Amino acid sequence: MKPYRSSLFVPGNRPAWMEKAAGYGADCLILDLEDSVPDQEKVAARPLVKAGIKALKAKGQACNVRVNGYATGLTLDDIEGVLEKVQEELRELKKATTQDEREKELGDVFLALVNVARWLKLDAEGAMRRANDRFFQRFVHMEKLCQERGLKFADLPIEEKEALWQEAKKATTG
């Protein structure tokens, strides 16, 4: 995922503006359902934003939607509630039986985790990037250990792979 250098906010109740904004060269369009849309137009703007997302993505335009959860009452009151929401979403993911259901539930897990990051005042995307970096660093270290010990990683039972992972975790930084 490339970083966004420029974002352009577009009122969610103005489909013509969404289409026009796509030609301005912004890395990401933010379809705004909050400050730029009067309260009495917010409900009617939601299907416009949904259609706008579909049209913009078909053109290869990155877009996000801005909705203020605080104003809508969609926020939880404390971190314990937020963490319980993550557990609830994980239970729903576990119960999902089709690929479509799993994908939807996994998306809900991601959103719940991003909400945890927001509550803890952390950068969710940065945390994910650093986790990927740590994973790669540890995996490379595991391969190095296998090579030094004359082992073939693919042939090891899961218990030995886990032991190597723990050893790599202790030996690497980050």
Low-confidence ranges of the chain (pLDDT < 70): 1-4, 68-77, 174
Cβ atoms within 10 A of the Cβ of 112, count? 19
Residue 111: predicted pLDDT? 86
Q: Enter the tokens of residue 1.
A: 């995922």
pTM reported for the whole predicted model: 0.60
Query: First vs last Cα of the chain: how many Å apart?
Result: 22
Q: 62-66 and 28-32: which strand pairing?
A: parallel
pLDDT tens by residue, 46-94? 899 999 989 988 888 888 888 765 555 556 667 888 899 999 999 999 9
Residue 63: predicted pLDDT? 85
Cα 89 from Cα 95, distance rounded (Å): 10
